[in-house]
Amino acid sequence: MAQKVQLKAKSRAEIGKGAVKRMRDQGTVPGVVYGAHMKPINITVGIEELERALHGATSENVLVDLQLEEGGKTNNRLALIQEVQHHPYKDTILHIDLHEVLATEKLRASVPVRPIGEPAGVKNGGGVLEFVMRELHVECLPQDLPALLEVNVEKLEIGQSIHVGDIAVPHGVALLDDKGQTVFLVAAPITEEELAAMTEAAAAPSAEPEVLTAKKEEGVEGAVVEGEAKPEAGKADAKAPAAAGKADAKAPVAGKAPVAGKAPAGGKAPAAGAPGKPEAKPAGGKPEAKK
């Protein structure tokens, strides 16, 4: 059965970091009591009493006969220690959570499993006992909750195993895990050849993955050397509008003729039929003799 301890606690109304710090300075530990049939209650517990209760615990499942002082009255509640929070580097308890249970209502919990004895395959064949599962899930009444489950593994030879369905549990306790799941297994020893292969594989340098970007960079450099590099994106688009703007500036406005006697912008002659100075003729009105 799970260990059962007595613990005195007081309800508290103060919450927050400042209040919690004052409680710890006064030698008490803040905590909370939860339950399916109750609202959470904030409590304080004496640090020395709590440390004594936890010091003698043989497993994580500790039943607590909680004597809770609330509103001037003391009520007894049955609870399981749910979580104990310790300081990161100091050997002190910072917070405790308890879960209220009913003596007449079944609960579910995780129970550690421990092998008993030395397997024959380990003793005579040099095998290795492997722990596939270190805890089992059970359902039972609070008073039937085991502290741990012990399993005799002395008859296991190399290659043999113990499954959940092979484990005997106390009266009133039901296992919730799949009966076919392996709990303990005796594996064959590793040969020298296998050990050498594993060592060689671990010492061998791993192949470096191919960098895809390296090929792209080489292609770009080759294009620059050959003189066929393309303009950068964005520059061609920027030049095109500028060129278009210059062409529009040179072209005459639609519907308007250029001013007489003046060439339009760009130094070009006016179009045929446009008014302007007559073309000069050779003197004497005769055509120029051919040489």
Which CATH superfamily includes the segment(s) 108-192?
Answer: Ribosomal protein L25, C-terminal domain (2.170.120.20)
Q: Determine the pLDDT at residue 261.
A: 45
Q: What is the residue type of 38?
A: M
Query: How confident is residue 19, by pLDDT bands cut at 50, 70 and 90?
Result: confident
Question: Does the model's pTM come out above 0.75?
Answer: no
The domains of the chain are located at: 3-102, 108-192
Residue with tokens 């061998």: 204
Q: Determine the pLDDT at residue 91.
A: 81
Q: Determine the pLDDT at residue 93.
A: 86
Q: Does the pLDDT value for residue 17 go beyond 70? A: yes
pLDDT digits (tens, 9 = 90+) for 239-266: 444 444 444 444 444 444 444 444 444 4
Q: Determine the pLDDT at residue 258.
A: 44
Q: Determine the pLDDT at residue 207.
A: 60
Q: Determine the pLDDT at residue 26.
A: 84
Question: Buried (b) or exposed (e) across 224-260, using 16+ Cβ within 10 A?
Answer: eeeeeeeeeeeeeeeeeeeeeeeeeeeeeeeeeebee
- N-terminal to C-terminal alpha carbon distance within the chain: 136
What percent of the chain clears pLDDT 70, i.e. is strictly above it? 69
| Integer Cα distance of 72 and 11 in angstroms | 10
The number of CA neighbours under 13 Å toward the Cβ of 199 is 7
| Integer Cα distance of 289 and 291 in angstroms | 6
The pLDDT mean for the chain works out to 76
Of the two residues 170 and 286, the one the predictor is more confident about is 170
Closest C-alpha among 253, 252, 274, 276 to residue 264: 252
> What is the pairing mode between strands 62-70 and 3-11?
parallel
Q: Does the pLDDT value for residue 281 go beyond 90? A: no
pLDDT digits (tens, 9 = 90+) for 121-170: 999 989 999 999 999 999 999 999 998 999 999 999 999 999 999 999 99
Q: Determine the pLDDT at residue 82.
A: 86
Report the CATH fold assignment for 3-102: Ribosomal Protein L25; Chain P (2.40.240)
Q: Determine the pLDDT at residue 291.
A: 40
Closest C-alpha among 33, 7, 12, 41 to residue 24: 12
Q: Determine the pLDDT at residue 139.
A: 96
pLDDT digits (tens, 9 = 90+) for 193-251: 777 787 888 887 766 666 665 544 444 444 444 444 444 444 444 444 444 444 444 44
> What is the pairing mode between strands 149-152 and 107-116?
parallel
Q: Does the pLDDT value for residue 278 go beyond 90? A: no
Of all helices (H) and strands (E), which one includes residue 241? helix 235-250
Q: Does the pLDDT value for residue 39 go beyond 70? A: yes
Residues 6+ apart with CB under 8 A from 134: 112, 113
> What is the pairing mode between strands 107-116 and 135-140?
antiparallel
| Integer Cα distance of 45 and 66 in angstroms | 10
Mean pLDDT of 90-102: 89
Closest C-alpha among 9, 30, 10 to residue 84: 30
